[in-house]
Amino acid sequence: MSRLERWLRVVSLHVRSLCMKNRVEQDLADELTFHFEQEAQRQRARGLSPEAARAVVRRQAYGLEAVKDACRDARGVRWIDDAVSDIRYAVRTFGRNPGFAISTVLMLATGIAASTGLFAVMDAVVLRPFPYVGADRLARVQLLPPSGPVRRASVTADEFRALRQASTLDDAYIRESFTKTLAGSAFPESVWTESYTGNALALLGVQPIIGRVFTEAEASIGPDPPRVAVLTYRFWQRRFAGQPNALGQTLQLNDEPFTVIGVVPAEYSLDLTDVMLPLPMNVGNGATWPAVVRLRTGTSIAVAEAELQTLFEQFARSRENALPRNFRVRLRLLVDEERGASLVPVLTMLFAAAGLLLLIGCANVMILLLARGRYRVHEIAVRHALGATRSRIVRLLLCEALLVTVAATVAAVIAARYLLPSLLDLVPGVIAQRAGRSVIGPTAIFFAASLAAVVAVISGAWPAVAVSRWGGDAIRGASAARGSSVGSVGSGVLIAAQVAIVAVLLAGTGAAMRALVDLYRAPIGYDPTRVTIAQIYLPTNRYTTWPARLAVYERLRAEVSHEPLVEGSSISLIPAGPPPLSGMTTRIDAQGLRDADREVLTLSVASDYFATLKMPLARGRVWSASDDARAEGVTVINETMARQLWPNEDSIGKRVRDRSFAERQNPPWVLNAPGRDGWFEVIGVVRDAPNRGMREPIAPAMYYPYATALSDVAVLLVRTRGNPLAAERELRTAVSRADASLPIILFITPETFMGWQQGEFVTAVLLGFGGVALLLASFGLFSVACYSIAHRTREFAIRLALGAPRSTVLRAALQSVAVAVSLGLGFGLALSVALNSVLARWSIRNMDDPSVLAATVGILVVVTVAATLIPARRATSIEPAIALRTE
Amino acid sequence: MSKPPDLFQGTLDLLILKVLVLEPLNGWAIGQRLLQVSGEVLQVSDGSLYPALHKLEQEGWIKGEWRATENNRRAKFYSLTRSGQKQLNKEMAHWDRISAAIMRVLTREV
C-alpha cells in the first residue's frame, strides 16, 4: 500500500517537474529566497548591520544559481529536459538543411523497409510457420526401417485412441487433405478440403471469426461424423463474398451435403485450404491414417520417441506385416519440416541482401554526418567554450542520428505496410502460398524499431564521437586539418566497406541471373511452347470400376482433342506429368539381372504423350492407342534406365516387372487393369528428360499405358494453337462435355512448374536491391569526392599557382577515393568467392564465376568514374586567384 | 563558510530524516536544528542541504508543503512520509552497524 502510494507520489512529482516547469522553478526560487532572508535575519540578530548581514549571506550562498542547478539535478529529470532541447535543436538543424535530412532518411528507409518486409515474410514462413497453439511441439510420427526410405507411421482408429493416451503427449490428431468437387456453379469447382479428427481444431486453438468449429463431442471417432463444414476466410470471401449468411448454408461436396457452421481467420488457409471437415474413420476394416502428435510442454523428443517406440511395437505385433521390421520411431517436428523446405534458403538469402542494403545506407549516413561535422567544427568549439561537456555534445550529435533513424523507420514501416500486400501479389505461386500470411504487424514493427536502434548506434556513434573530438581539438588550437585527415581516413574506410558490400550484392545478383539463364537453357527434354496442363479429379463415388473409369478418360481425351484450338493433347496419371514432374518411385524385377532389385520411376501416360510433348524417341516404338485401351503390357523406358540396366545390350524386348503393381490393391484410388500381372516388355527408348525437378539428376524411368493402373487423378496435357491460357474456357467446355461434373483445377503453363518463376522472382528482387545499392554507394562516393576536393581547394589552388599540371592535381584529388574503391573492390571480390562455398550448400552457386565477377568489377568501375566525374572537373577548374582570395 | 563539512555519503539524508521525525520544518530551520543539536559542529551549507531535500522529496521519503511560518511568511515545510519513516529505520540500523564496525576498528589494539 505505502509502496504504491510512494510510487504514485514519485511519478506525479516527475510529471510535475516536467510539465509545470515554471511553477517548479518559481517554488525553488521562493524557497531559496526565504532561506537567505532567514539567514540574513539571523546574522542581524547577531548584531551585524543589515547590509553587512546580507553581504555575509551572499558570501555564504554557495552561488544561488549553482544551488538551483544542483536541486534541479537532484530532481532527476534533467536528462529529459536536455533530450527535449537536443531534439528540438536537431529538428531545427534539419529544417535548415532539408536536402540533407531527406536524403539521409531515404537512404535508411530503403534498407529498413526492405529488411522489415522480408522479416515479415520470414516470420510467416520460417519463424512462426503455423498459427496453431503449441505449434513448435507438433510432430509427425515416422518409422525408420534399418534400410530404405522413411515412412509415415499410419495408425488404425483403435491405435489412434491408444496414441492419444500416451503420457508424453498432450494429444494427437489426424489431418488429411482431399480435393473435392463442389457443385452448384457454372462449372463444377474443385476445392481443397482438410479433414480433421473432431479433437483437432480445439487442440490447435483454431478460433472461428463467425459461427463455431466442430468439436470432439459432436465429431467423435467413427465412420460417420456429422456433415458440417468450417470455411476458411479465403473460401468464404470467394464463395460467399464474406456474407455472414453463409452460416447454415449447404455445400454439395462430392454429392454429399455439408452444412456450414463457421468461418476461421485467413491465417488458417495454409496450403490454400478452402474447407475443413470432420474426418470419417472407418473403424475395423484396416484403414490407417497418418497421425500428428503434440508433445507435452517440457517433454524432450527423445523421451516421447521412446514411449511411442514401445507403443508402435505393440501395434506391429497386432498388425502382421503392415509395419517394416526393426523400425525405429522418429518424431519430426512440423516446424523443422517446414524450415527445411526449399523456400527457406531463398528467403534467407534475400533477407541477407536486404540487410546489406541497410548497411550501405548506414555507411552513407555516416559519410554524410562526418562530412557535415567538418563544417560544424566551429560551432562545436563554441559549445565547448561555453561549458558544454564532451558527453553533452556527443549526446547532441547522437540525437540527430537518432532523429534521422526514427523518421526513416516510421517512413519504412508505413511504406512496407502499404507496399507488402501488393508486392506479395506479384510473387509467384509457390512462394505466395507460404508468404501470403505475412503482414507488417506488431512483431514486424518491433523488429523495425530494434533495427532502428541498432542503425542509430551504428550510424550515429562514430560520427558523433569523431565530430565532438574535432570540436575539442579546434578549441585547444590543434590544427583543424588533423581532425579532417582522421575524418577522411574514416570516409575512406566507409567507402571501401560500401564498395565491398555492393560488390558482394552484385556478384550475388549476377549469380542468380546466371542460375536463371542456366535454368532456361537446361535441356528439359520436350518443347514447352504453348503447353498447358490441368488436373482432373474424378468424383469419389463414381467411376469405381476399371472399364467405367477407362471409358470416362477416353471420352475426355476424345473431346479435348477435337477442340479446334488444340494442336495436340494427351493425359497422364498423377504423379506423372510433363517433365520435370516426377513419376512414382517403384522397385522392379528384370529378367537376367543379378541385382534384380532396382528403383525406377514409373509414369502412367497415354500413347500420344510423347507426340504431344514432342519428346524424341531414341530407339524402338511407342505403343498405339489401341494398346492404351487394352492396357497392353508394354513399356517405353528412358535412356538412363536403358543404360543402367542393360549397359552392354539392346534393351528392346527385355521384360521388367513393376513390383508395386501387385502390392497396390487399394481401390477406389487406383484400379489395376484386370488380368495384368505387372510384367512389361520394353518396346522403345525415349530420350532423357529431367524427371525429379530441374536440379536433380535424371532418374531411370519407365512409361507404360495409363490404363494399366487407373488412378482417380489425371493430368490433362494440351498444346494449343494460340495462347494456352486464352483457351481455358474452350478446354473447360470440352471437359464438361465428357462429364459435366468433372472439376478441373489449375490451368498452368510450364513457366510455373519449371521453377522459372521462382528464379525470375529472386533475380528481380536481387536486381532491385543491387540497383538501389549501387545508387546509394555512388551517392556516398560522390559526396566523399566532393568533400575531399572542396576541403582541399586552397591546397590545389596553391599547387596550380605554383605551376602544377592539372592532371597532377586531379590525381591528388581522387587518389584517396581511388584507393578506397580498389581496396573495397578487392575485398568484395574475395568475399564473394569465399561466400560462394558457403552459399553453395543452399544451391546458390556461380558467385565465383569469372564472368559474374568481371561484370561486377566493370559496373563498379563505371559507377565510380561517373560518381567522381563532377567533383573531378571541379578540382581541375579551380581558378587559383579566386580560390585563394575566397579562402 | 562555503564548504560543507565532509559527511559520509548518505549521512546528510539520514540526519534530515531524523530531524523531521518530531515536526515538519522548512529548509532553513532544518539547517539550524542540525547545527543546534550537534552542538554547533555540523553546519550544512545550502549548496548541500537543498539538493538533498529535493532528492529526498523526489524519492518520496519526505513531502514538501507551502505553509505560513510563525511570523506569517510563506515557506516550504518538509514532513516525513510513511515510507520515509521506514527508510529512516533502515538507515539508522545501517548506521549503527557501520559506526559499530568503525569503532571496533579504531579501538582495537594493534
Query: What digits encode the pLDDT tens for the residues B51-61?
Result: 888 888 888 88
Residues A18 and A61 in one domain: yes
- Assess whether pLDDT exceeds 70 at residue A596: no
The dihedrals phi and psi of A250, each to the nearest 5 degrees, come to -110, 135
d(CA A311, CA A137): 19
Residue A127 placed within a domain: no
The pLDDT value recorded for residue A576 is 80
The pLDDT value recorded for residue A306 is 92
Instruction: Please give the average per-residue pLDDT across B40-65, as a whole number.
Output: 85
Interchain contact A38–B (C-beta under 8 A) = yes
The pLDDT value recorded for residue B99 is 85
Domain termination site, one of A753, A776, A808: A753
**Nearest-CB residue to B1 (from A60, A71, A76):** A60
- Assess whether pLDDT exceeds 90 at residue A834: no
Residues A22 and A52 in one domain: yes
| Residue in B16, B50, B81, B88 to test binding to A, most A beta-carbons within 10 Å | B50
Which of A204-208, A347-351, A441-445 shows the lowest per-residue confidence on average (mean pLDDT)?
A347-351
The pLDDT value recorded for residue A365 is 87
* Residue A260 Cα distances to A175, A245, A294, A832, angstroms: 19, 10, 28, 56
Residue A70 with chain B: CB contacts under 8 Å:
47, 50-51
d(CA A533, CA A525): 17
d(CA A391, CA A385): 14
- Assess whether pLDDT exceeds 50 at residue A136: yes
- Assess whether pLDDT exceeds 90 at residue A490: no
Domain count, chain A: 4
Query: Between A112 and A282, whose confidence is greater?
Result: A112
- Assess whether pLDDT exceeds 70 at residue A61: no
Domain termination site, one of A76, A103, A136: A76
The dihedrals phi and psi of A527, each to the nearest 5 degrees, come to -100, 110
The pLDDT value recorded for residue A296 is 92
Q: DSSP secondary structure string, A697-711?
A: PPPPEEEEEGGGEEE
User: Which run of H or of E encompasses A794?
Assistant: helix A793-801
Residue A608 placed within a domain: yes
Residue A557 placed within a domain: yes
Cβ-defined contact of B76 to A62 (cutoff 8 Å): no
Residue A121 placed within a domain: no
Residues A689 and A611 in one domain: yes
Residues A634 and A744 in one domain: yes
Instruction: Please give the average per-residue pLDDT across B31-38, as a whole number.
Output: 88
CATH topology of domain B11-107: Arc Repressor Mutant, subunit A (1.10.10)
Q: How many CB pairs under 8 A join A and B?
A: 80
Domain spans of chain B, in order of start: 11-107
Cβ-defined contact of A10 to B59 (cutoff 8 Å): yes
Residue A16 placed within a domain: yes
The pLDDT value recorded for residue A113 is 92
Region of A192 (left: φ > 0; alpha: ψ -120 to 50; beta: rest) is beta
Q: How confident is the model at residue A380 (pLDDT cuts 50, 70, 90)?
A: confident
CA-based radius of gyration for chain B: 15
Instruction: Please give the average per-residue pLDDT across B72-100, as a whole number.
Output: 88
pLDDT digits (tens, 9 = 90+) for A466-483: 888 887 777 666 544 444
Of A225-239, A339-353, A435-449, A533-547, give the range with the top mean pLDDT.
A225-239
Which of A4-18, A198-212, A666-680, B87-101 shows the lowest per-residue confidence on average (mean pLDDT)?
A4-18
- Assess whether pLDDT exceeds 50 at residue A537: yes
Residue B66 with chain A: CB contacts under 8 Å:
27
* Residue A467 Cα distances to A90, A384, A484, A638, angstroms: 15, 12, 10, 72
Residue B63 with chain A: CB contacts under 8 Å:
9
Residues A582 and A645 in one domain: yes
Residues A365 and A286 in one domain: no
d(CA A604, CA A635): 10
pLDDT digits (tens, 9 = 90+) for A221-258: 777 889 999 999 888 988 888 888 999 999 988 778 99
Q: What is the ipTM metric for this complex?
A: 0.81
The pLDDT value recorded for residue A622 is 94
Residues A874 and A786 in one domain: yes
Q: How confident is the model at residue B3 (pLDDT cuts 50, 70, 90)?
A: very low
- Assess whether pLDDT exceeds 60 at residue A485: no
Q: How confident is the model at residue A446 (pLDDT cuts 50, 70, 90)?
A: very high
Grid coordinates representing B81?
Answer: 512520509
Domain termination site, one of A76, A93, A112: A76
pLDDT digits (tens, 9 = 90+) for A455-469: 888 888 888 888 888
Q: How confident is the model at residue A307 (pLDDT cuts 50, 70, 90)?
A: very high
Note down the domain range covering A850: 343-521+757-886
The pLDDT value recorded for residue A544 is 84
Strands of B22-72, DSSP E: 25-26, 62-68
Residue A1 with chain B: CB contacts under 8 Å:
none
Residue A432 placed within a domain: yes
Interface of A with B in 49-68 (CB under 8 A): 59-63, 66-67
d(CA A729, CA B13): 89
The pLDDT value recorded for residue A483 is 45
Residues A768 and A735 in one domain: no
Helix axes A390-426, A78-96, angle to 10 degrees: 60
Proportion of chain A above pLDDT 90, given as a percent: 19
In the 8-state DSSP scheme, what is residue A126? Answer: I
- Assess whether pLDDT exceeds 60 at residue A73: yes
The pLDDT value recorded for residue A595 is 61
The whole-angstrom distance between B103's CA and the closest CA on chain A is: 32
> Which among A873, A856, A862 has a CA at the least distance from the CA of A814?
A873
Q: Which residues of B touch A (CB under 8 A)?
A: 1-2, 26-29, 32, 45-47, 50-55, 57-60, 63, 66, 73-76, 81-83, 86
* Residue A71 Cα distances to A65, A67, A597, A820, B24, angstroms: 10, 6, 91, 52, 20
The pLDDT value recorded for residue A753 is 67
Please, what is the average pLDDT of chain A? Answer: 82
Residue B2 with chain A: CB contacts under 8 Å:
59-60, 62
pLDDT digits (tens, 9 = 90+) for A364-378: 888 888 888 877 788
Helix axes A98-122, A442-475, angle to 10 degrees: 140
Cβ-defined contact of B47 to A70 (cutoff 8 Å): yes
d(CA A348, CA A339): 11
pTM of the model: 0.69
Instruction: Please give the average per-residue pLDDT across B56-81, as a whole number.
Output: 86
Residues A162 and A248 in one domain: yes
Q: Let me know: does A187 contact A173? Beta carbons within 8 Å.
A: no
Q: Compare all CA atoms of chain B with the CA of A41 and give the residue at the minimum distance.
A: B28
Residues A685 and A537 in one domain: yes
Q: Compare all CA atoms of chain A with the CA of B30 and give the residue at the minimum distance.
A: A35
